[in-house]
Amino acid sequence: MTISILDLRYLIRSAMINRQLVEFFYDGQYVLGEPHVYGIKINEIHLLVYQIDGQSNNTRLPKWRDVPAEKISDFRLLRYHFQGKRTSGINVQRDFDKILEIVG
pLDDT in tens, 2-51: 678 789 889 999 999 999 999 999 999 999 999 999 999 999 999 999 99
At 63, which CATH number? Answer: 2.30.30
Looking at the structure of the chain, the number of domains it has is: 1
Strand stretches in 27-95, DSSP E: 29-41, 44-54, 63-68, 72-81
What is the sign, positive or negative, of the torsion defined by CA atoms of 19, 24, 90, 58?
Answer: positive
The whole model's pTM is what?
A: 0.90
The CA distance from 101 to 36, in Å, is 8
Residue type at position 64:
W
Domain that holds residue 73: 5-102
The CA distance from 39 to 45, in Å, is 6
Q: Name the nearest CA neighbour of 32 among 80, 71, 68, 69.
A: 80
pLDDT of 55 reads: 92
pLDDT of 30 reads: 97
